Structure 1
Amino acid sequence: MLDPSPEDDGTSPIVSTPRFVGRDRELAALRGALARPPAIVLVEGEAGIGKSRLLREWLAAPEQTSLVSVCPPLRESLTLGPIVDAFHGIEPSVPRLGLTELAGALRPLFPEWSSHLPPALPPMDDAKAARHRLFRALDELLRALRVDVLVLEDAHWADEVTLEFLLFVISRQQSDGPSLVVSYRPEEVDDGSLLLRLTSRLPAGVTQLRIALAPVRPGDTAALVSSMLDGNPISQEFTTFMHERTGGVPLAVEESVRLMCDRADLVFRGGQWVRLKLRELQVPPTVRDSTRERVSRLSPAAQQALRAAATLAERSSAATIAVAADLSPAACRDAIAEAAAAGVLDGDDRGRWRFRHVLAATAVYEAIPLTDRRQFHLLAGRALERLHPPPVARLAHHFREAGETRSWARYAEQGAELAMTSGDHTKAVDLLVDLLARAVLPPEDRARVARIAGVAALSRREPLDAVHHRVVRTLRSVLETPGLSARQQAEIRNPLGRLLIIGGEAQAALHELEQAVANLDHDPVEAARAMTYLGWAYAGPWPASTHRRWLDRAAGLTAQIDSPAERLNLAGNRAAALLMLGEEEAWDVIAGLPVDGATPAERLDVGRIHANVGTGALMWGRYADAEEHLTVALRLAEAEQASRLRHNVRLEQANLAWNTGRWDGLAETSAALTDADRDRPAIYLGCIRLTARLAAAAGRRRAAEEQFRLVLEESARLGAADDTMEAAAALARLWLADGNSRRALRVTNEPMDTVRRKGIWIWATDLVPARVEALLAGGDPAAAARLTDQFARGLRGRTAPAPRAALTLCRALLLSAAGDHSRAATAYDRAARAWSALPRPYEALRARERQAEALLAQGRPEQGRELLTAQYEQMFRLGARGDADRVAQRLREHGAEVPRLWRGGRRGYGDQLSPRELDVVQLVVAGKTNRQISRILAKSPATVDQQLRAAMRKLKVSSRTALAVKAVEAGVFAEED
């Protein structure tokens, strides 16, 4: 079995022959019956159910001499053709069989044996007597060959004489004749067929067994698919998809897997096989041909009923099928009965009918000429209109396919309304966007549908996905429709702008919302909502005063709104927007926020507000407040299964953990969030930023620089001005460490201009200290002092602990650059205390490092070295290994001894495996990949790889297989007494 590593993710599978799955009990029963001869075993089941595979598995372990014959699917079978074909290849044995003169009757069947058979027998006038003589001759041949079991496959296609011969063999079984195994499709056996007599009037002492093969269960479907794909597991979603579409018919499963592999629709990802992009499963040619061949043998009325049932695609009553098939009720009932008897349709206890398997329905539907499909859909729509309540989503589908635009539009809107009422906003969006994309509607209808689609999309709980992008494209397209009024355009631009915010297109969002506000006077709630979004300061060239005016206008409208839920929404979002502006009054509103809601919609609304407040509190440096609000937001997001909101909150909680020095597991958290919502720019860039912080602190300079550059460039491109600040500051610090102050100044120019232009100085916690240091390094202390003064004026009257700690650091930098090392040491001490109070330990440690440098410059080497040593140990334990290495170098330069700290692995195990290494090796022995192990043990793939290599080194092996063998041989998993 192949064992793809994480590096194999995204590769296409190599398809193997499927393993024998889900039939162990039937195989045991078959072997048991044939072990008690003489026996007759009937194996029945529909096409593709696995009759032949069951017999092949039994034949693969030859316990008895068998002769296998197969009936071909010929419209007029050759007399005794299957039996004759079974004897091909035994000609060399015929002379040694000692056949009697009776075998001369075989000459017409086996002319190629003429030199080995007795002379031909004289003809007989009685046909029955001649046939009996031929059967006796065949029976003699079977006994001479010592055949223990005669197998006849696909007996539903057998000619009548062949079936008579089987009955003849049965009648002679008590005289040690061969056992019989007969397979067939019961739905294709006519009422008068001789096959039905095989189990009646059997001689005494004959073992009887009927094996009715049913579809395999979902678990067996998964096992069958897995056996075709290197033995690796398949996802639960893929399992459900395959079982529902194939009905658990093994041949349909096998052929579907091969077809998907041919189309490259399967990839190995995250330790299991998953579907790449497939929504519907194409019908494999073998299944298609088998279904169409079976249907073609039915009456025209039955075929018409099946086409109607395939078009309806859901369980339907006989009355509904009759209308859809344009048949009379009586004719349709007879047609359904015929199709059910043929095993094509399946009924339930409510008298509703559908195809037994989705693939069969698809095969029949695809066989309907394109010119006829529109009529079938029109009839299906008219049939479903008679139901109460009408299935509006299905009606929209059928009238769409029928080309009946007016009915399609009516039912699509009704279906969307019903879906939104039930909370399925994605279904609503699908119905409406499909209507907008494919139907020609009057401008007023087009505008109304677009507005509803936009509002529905805003209520979706799923992460950013293709549906979101399709809605945005569709709304933009609708805005280009000639004849739309300014009001209609505004009602589309309003949700479009908010969708663009979710997608990270901040600048474009403000453009749409600003145009919308001017024409939303008729809807105060939506006007106030749009104004509130315009009050968010993350994008656009406007100064804070402009954003504030928008918020004040929104507040004026909010006071006129009667709905408490709407007032809460607007007031909560306004408070979060005020936080982004650095306005103190926001905290008064925030103090009165509820922590729950009466309805799911209210709970989601409250959750979003708390998430936004948590983000603002992080920016201010009020970390206890941030944790409180994010905890409320996460609880509500999880209660309502709102994955998009949950990802937002978890990212902000990760940012909080970074700031407060709780770095353990942050790399894994960032990777998990990136995988969960990779298509959403805000989440993706936030995760990259977190990863870059960790890389910079660990001393992985190149990775940190690349990641911060990506965040800076993409945030600037998307117009998210606030997200450019930290990335620019981090790059400036990296380049200042190289002595490149000019480059540091250049990267902070535009973000600094943004802060000045907008006048929002709480954004500059990271930016201003980096800029001040770059100005000082570039020899411009006057500019550094002016910037520090600007920073101080911008923070005046604002109790924002993080920016104020940064201001304290800037003043210390100025003193240090001026050569006033005594006062600089005191100022750095104040900065460190300010950072510690938040708490923000990493910044506090870096301020203490600067304090130690000031002490050394002041001529106080002992105190400086002692303080540096303390910072080295704390940085090391925090995880800032790059900073710790820098401090260690400074200690050596000043003649101080660097403490010997443990740098990884497990202490005290020597060449023995540590407990964590044992965990990894045990999972390797169990056949798990690195990616699977990382998920099971909640470790990063890099950690798993490191521990795996350590185990290989200790056990002196160079491959995973050798490691597993060595581990087992060494008894490392032996149970302890």
Structure 2
Amino acid sequence: MPRTTSPVLIGRSRELETLTATVAAAPSVAFVEGEAGVGKTRLVAEMVAELVDEPDDGPRGDPPWTAVAYCQPLRDPFPYGVVLECLRLCARQVERVRGRLGPVTGVLRRHLPELADALPPAPPGPGDAAAERHQVFRAVRDLLAALGPTVLVIEDVHWADEGSRQLLRFVMTDPPPGLSLVMTYRREDLPGDAPLGRTFRPPPGTTGVHLSLAPLDAAGVRGLVEGILGRPVEAGFAETVRERTAGIPFVVEEITCALRALRGRLRTDGTTARRLLDDVRVPVLLREAMAERMHALPGDTRAVAEASAVLGMPATVELLGAVAGADHGRAQVATLLERAVLVEAAENAYGFRHALAQRAVYDALPGPRRQELHLRAVRELARLTPRPLVRLAAHSRRAGLTEDWLRYSEEAADAAVRANDTSTAMELLRAAVAEPTVRAEDVNRLALKLCECALIGLHHREVTDRIEQLSRDARLTDEVRAEMHLWLGLLLIRETGALDRGRAEIELAVEALHSRPERRLRGMSVLAVPCMGTVPFTTDLMWLERVEAAVDTLAQGSLRTALLANTLCARTISGSPGAAERLRLLPSVSEAEAAGALHDLARVYANLADGCSWTGHYGRARDFLHSGLSLAGRAGASYIAGTAEATRVRLDWYSGAWDGLAERADRLARTYAHLLPVTSELHLVKGWLATARGDWDGAEAAFRDTRMDQPESAVVPVAVAATGGTIALLLHRDDTAAACAYADRGAALLRRKGLWVWAGEVACQAVEAYLAAGRRDDAHAFTDELAAGIAGFDAPLADAALTACRAWLADADGDGAAAARLFEDAVVRFRALDLPYQAARCTEWAATRAADTATLTALARTYEKLDAPVDAARCRHLLRGTGTATPSRRGRRGYGNELSPREREVATWLAEGRTNREIARTMFLSRRTVEEHVANVLRKLGAASRQEVRHRLGHHHDPPRTPVPP
């Protein structure tokens, strides 16, 4: 069955250690205080489990006898009930000590019939109630003393009867030497100020401790959620769960189990968590617990709690009282604080401890009562300055004030956009247009606002789905419907797997928008961008020329800047030599700001950075990127910032700045999970990094995630580059046939698109694969097509790759001198582009053919510095093949009991569970050499087996980063 709690105790290690030590130091008494659901029972259960599981020959010998009993919230509790519940469980222990039982213990025969046969005869009754009670108290203490080491755990002492409290005080005032008493309670439910009726101080010689359990922090919540789900979750998800549950473990467990029921739909990012937690049902146990608390409140106090539930956020005493209809509310709020129904969430602002408690109370309200409270909330909130528009919109809707709801929603959305909070704006507008009773004129206006917000910010699939449904809404005019197709298309081309659908929607809009020429131009400018889809470049060029002709007639303004964002991107990314001249058409930042076009100008620079990075103008790309990110931040353009960050990740790959790059790419991929233009570039870089580090499976998965196998719905230059990466991966694996198949696919995609300036990331790999398979004619044909395809275009990366291809061909044709010259030229070109990894690969090819050991030695170090261990190992292998000693990476020093650099590599791969054969293949070493290294690793780490290496490596070395190929 699925787990309903974590298999390990989370966030209570210090408290468990303290409690266990206190129990071990008998006689002792421990109080464990905490609100409902905070984990008192789990803590004492873990303590009991430690006592039971301790081996017989442990430090304390045999474990103590342990009993656990629970106080019950009974209207007429039984005298001494919970203590007797504990003692009735000790029949076996009493049998063993019956000879040591004093005569007074016989008093318990009538209270504990389960023990009657083992107890002494009952002494005559004293005939006085007080004296009889004294006999019972002495009997209980004597019985516990006879039992020897004993642990009594009494849960929920706040519900204990007064007799039990007095009995426990009597016993613990002069406790038996072996007795440890553990009591749990909720302070808010105590009948007085102390769990035993009055303040209790342990007598001299008795160990005492008072533990107060606080809610879990963010790390604790994350650990608890991961323990229940059985998989990692993101920090943002856990933090959102903590906010909604106040870190109370019981509530965290309940809500996590409810979320787990979503199965495949559960994503663990922070944004998803917020939306899911708004919709998930309040767990039954929590709903019942809150109902019980509410029923115990006086009527006027309950009304204030209900007002707090309706307001849904912390509020002042005055506001709570006004919404509840109470004269003042101060006394009622004080009572609610004492009963722990409300807390002071901020200074002089009171609300429920967590959102689920608030929802439990809200959901229990009858409909008319809810509506009445919402109406009062609208009236009171409308008097505030500034008006809380979002809250007014929510209360107006629930009060049935439709016109007010729409007005407040639109005002709040406009204010949110001005504050760069597009997520809030989208949620408000999405709810408004989804309401079927909203008038047509309102839907037409609000639908377009929703589209504009979605394009600015990070929309979710639900927003796209809502807009797609809305585009078929009968209330829309034909003009607005056509515009909706345009906006829908713009959103779809961003989404994974929907690029072809998006392009189709834009084409439909362009055909229908004749009455809106400015919107039509926007659609045409998107169709002009060549990287979106496999439509031939000649078609893209046709759209581009038409839009550019219109741009030249437009005055400076928002429309012109928006069109330039696409046309300049199209010119740059296609390597058009005249692209730089058209930069003069751009407005200055101040002009764009004055025209309300700052968002569009940010997109211009981000697109220019992306275009330059694909053709090889990396310095220009970084300059444009800096401007784009700066402007995107000022404009609150989250989507543009995401595309720019993806470009920056790729530029860092090119420049060799790989430290932490994979982690950065992972983090961004989670943030922009459904946005294809962002994630596909990030997956590409992850694939490149994984290949360089020998993680073949990870590389294959990353390249596949770029959608290179579905180029119609992929970003084409990314698909081309991922194809090149896959060829390199397959060549590493010596799978030449599969590498050639991907080379054929890459060539076919370039021919289909008719734009060879993007071949820089696939050309060398394709030619190498063809030559390795003996397909020299195909290698020559590919190189000739590349040369013809980039003639007249500005594509320095493709030019450098073409030179390297020609070097490969010269080498294959036996012209060593030409090959050496061309390889040297390629290296110069790659270095001029600041591409250290590509330059190193060309240098390696040339050095291998010339048996240049000095260069290979330097290259091994270069690859290591780049964190490309597979390439470094290959260079060392090549050096061994020349008869040259492998370059030492340790200098003159000896390593003694420390791992040498090579042993560290072996240890890393051992920690990943790889076999000697797999390690030997990756490191280009013999099996015998690897076996020697493995033996050294086991000895130096003190590991008894290969399975222990991961644990030892985690203690003594950096965690492994590089999986090993199969």
* Structure 1 position 689, deviation (Å): 4.5
Pick from 677, 686, 693: which aligns with 1:682?
677
Structure 2 residue aligned with 1:629, among 617, 624, 628? 624
Residue 579 in structure 1 maps to residue 580 in structure 2: no
Aligned equivalents of 2:106, 2:695: Cα separation in 1? 91
Residue pairs, 1:309-458, within 5 angstroms? 309-318=308-317, 320-321=319-320, 325=324, 327-329=325-327, 335-347=332-344, 352-368=349-365, 380-381=377-378, 384-401=381-398, 405-437=402-434, 439-458=436-455
Shift of 1:637: 6.3
* Counterpart secondary structure, 1:353: strand
Residue by residue, what CA displacement relative to the aligned partner does 1:2-57 show, whole Å, maximum 9, x if unpaired?
xxxxxxxx999962355744547985998899979xxx997765434566677779
- 1:232 and 1:901 map into 2 onto residues whose CA distance is 47
- Classify 1:372/1:941 alpha carbon distance in 2 versus 1 (closer, same or farther; 3 Å): farther
CA contact (8 A) 1:873 1:884 kept: no
Letter matched to residue 612 of structure 1: N
Q: How does 1:689-728 map to 2 (within 5 A)?
A: 689-690=684-685, 713-714=708-709, 716-718=711-713, 720-723=715-718
Partner residue in 2 for 1:954: 937
Cα separation, partners in 2 of 1:567 and 1:652, compared to 1, 3 Å: same
CA contact (8 A) 1:11 1:267 kept: no
Contact 1:218–1:239 under 8 Å retained in 2: no
Q: Is the 8 A contact 1:242 1:253 kept in 2?
A: yes
Q: Secondary structure at the match of 1:584?
A: coil
State the secondary structure of the residue aligned to 1:393: helix
Whether 1:495 and 2:491 are equivalent positions in the alignment is no
Shift of 1:389: 3.6
Give, in whole Å, the separation in 2 of the partners of 1:377 and 1:715.
Answer: 52
What is the CA–CA distance in structure 2 between the aligned matches of 1:498 and 1:871, rounded to whole Å?
50
Instruction: Name the amino acid aligned to 1:717.
Output: E
Does the 8 Å CA contact 1:50/1:213 hold for their aligned counterparts? no
Q: How does 1:490-569 map to 2 (within 5 A)?
A: 490-503=482-495, 505-516=498-509, 529-539=522-532, 540-541=535-536, 543=539, 545-556=541-552, 558-559=554-555, 561=557
Distance (whole Å) between structure 1 residues aligned to residue 4 and residue 888 of structure 2: 37
- For 1:510 and 1:263, locate their aligned partners in 2 and report how far apart those are by CA, in whole Å: 33
Alpha carbon RMSD of aligned pairs, Å?
A: 6.6
1:157 corresponds, among 153, 156, 159, to: 159
Deviations 1:438-478 (A, max 9, x none): 54433332232221122112222x5xxxx432222221211
- Tell me by how many angstroms 1:479 deviates: 1.0
AA paired with 1:955?
L
Quickly say closer, same or farther: Cα 1:179–1:602, change in 2 above 3 A: same
SS of 2:138's partner is helix
Residue type of the alignment partner of 1:47: A
Distance 1:174 1:571, change over 3 A: closer
SS at match of 1:329: coil
Residues 542-568 of structure 1, C-alpha deviation per residue, up to 9 Å, x if partnerless? 53542333332442464153x6xx755
* Distance across 2 between alignment mates of 1:650 and 1:913: 40
Which residue of the other structure, out of 122, 131, 134, is the alignment partner of 1:133? Answer: 131
Q: Deviations over 1:728-752 (max 9, x none)?
A: 7788999997699999667634532
Q: Which moved more, 1:68-77 or 1:479-488?
A: 68-77
CA contact (8 A) 1:151 1:182 kept: yes
Alpha carbons 2:629, 2:641 under 8 Å: kept? yes
Q: Distance in 1 between matches of 2:506 and 2:710?
A: 20
Aligned 1:92-171 pairs, distance under 5 A = 97-99=101-103, 109=111, 113=116, 116-118=120-122, 120-121=124-125, 130-145=128-143, 154-159=156-161
Runs of at least 5 residues in structure 2 that lack an aligned partner in the other structure = 52-59, 914-921, 959-966
Q: Distance in 1 between matches of 2:379 and 2:932?
A: 67
Deviations 1:338-374 (A, max 9, x none): 4344232234686543223444334334444679766
Structure 1 position 499, deviation (Å)? 2.1
Deviation string 1:64-91 (CA, Å, 9 cap, x unpaired) is: 9999875322122124434544543467
Query: CA 1:965/1:707 → structure 2, altered by over 3 Å: closer, same or farther?
Result: closer
**Residues 678-726 of structure 1: per-residue CA shift (max 9 Å, x gap):** 5433344434555666788999999989987886754522164555555
Provide the residue aligned with 2:189 in structure 1.
188
Whether 2:486 is the aligned partner of 1:486: answer no
What does residue 56 of structure 2 align with? none
Q: Does the 8 Å CA contact 2:827/2:843 hold for their aligned counterparts?
A: yes
Quick check: 1:506–1:718 contact (8 Å CA) kept in 2?
yes
Alignment of 1:204-283 (within 5 A): 211=210, 213=212, 215-216=214-215, 218=217, 221-222=220-221, 225=224, 236-237=235-236, 240-249=239-248, 251-252=250-251, 279=277
Report the structure number with the largest CA radius of gyration.
1
TM normalised by structure 2 equals 0.71
Contact 2:440 2:475 in 1 (8 A): yes
CA distance in 1, matches of 2:678, 2:281: 35
Distance across 1 between alignment mates of 2:75 and 2:522: 72
* Native 8 Å contact 2:759 2:786 kept in 1: no
For 1:295, the equivalent position in structure 2 comes to 294
Query: Deviation per CA, 1:823-842, whole angstroms, max 9, x where unpaired?
Result: 99988887776666556688
Deviation of 1:307 (Å): 3.5
- State the match for 2:55 in structure 1: none
* Pairing of 1:785-824 with structure 2 (within 5 A): 791=789, 795-796=791-792, 799-802=794-797
User: 1:576-627 deviations in whole A, cap 9, x for unaligned?
Assistant: 3332354434313447979977989977655543332223223443343234
Q: Deviations over 1:626-671 (max 9, x none)?
A: 3433455456668999775555445445555666788898777766
Code of the residue aligned with 2:277 in structure 1: it is: R
1:73 and 2:65 aligned: no
Q: Using a 3 Å threshold, how does the CA distance of structure 1 residues 308 and 501 change in structure 2: closer, same or farther?
A: same
Does the C-alpha gap of structure 1 residues 498 and 364 become closer, same or farther in structure 2, counting only changes over 3 Å?
Answer: same
Structure 1 position 420, deviation (Å): 1.7
Is the CA contact (8 Å cut-off) linking 2:726 and 2:739 kept in structure 1? Answer: no
Answering whether residue 36 of structure 2 is matched by residue 47 of structure 1, we say: yes
What is the one-letter code of the residue matched to 2:613? L
Report the Cα distance in structure 2 between the residues aligned to 1:962 and 1:782, rounded to whole angstroms: 52
Cα distance in structure 1, aligned partners of 2:656 and 2:195: 79
Question: 1: CA distance between counterparts of 2:808 and 2:40?
Answer: 84
State whether residues 661 and 878 of structure 1, in contact with CA within 8 Å, keep that contact through their aligned partners in structure 2: no
- The Cα offsets for residues 87-140 of structure 1, whole Å up to 9 and x where unpaired, read as 43467567854436xx897776456749844465486xxxxxx32122222233
More displaced stretch, 477-486 vs 89-98 = 89-98
CA shift, 1:963, in A, is 4.3
Q: Structure 1 pair 407/205, CA: closer, same or farther in 2 (3 Å)?
A: same
Quick check: 1:47–1:290 contact (8 Å CA) kept in 2?
no
Q: Distance in 2 between matches of 1:194 and 1:690?
A: 62
% identity of equivalent residues: 27
Structure 1 contact 769–810 (Cα < 8 Å) conserved:
yes
Change (3 A) 1:445 1:365: same
**Secondary structure of residue in 2 paired with 1:354:** strand
- Contact residue 13 and residue 261 of structure 1 kept, 8 A: no
Task: Name the aligned partner's letter for residue 626 of structure 1.
Answer: A
Q: Distance in 2 between matches of 1:846 and 1:175?
A: 80
Shift in CA distance, 657/952, structure 1 to aligned 2, threshold 3 Å:
farther
Contact map agreement 2:317 2:333 (CA 8 A) in 1: yes
Q: TM-score, normalised by structure 1?
A: 0.70
Residue correspondences, number: 901
- In structure 1, what is the Cα distance between the partners aligned to 2:267 and 2:683? 24
Match of 1:475 in 2: 467
Amino acid aligned to 2:74: L
Asked if the contact 1:65/1:149 (under 8 Å) is kept, the reply is yes
**2:620 is the alignment partner of 1:617:** no
Distance 1:969 1:241 in 2: 32
Q: Secondary structure, in 3 states, of the residue corresponding to 1:543?
A: helix
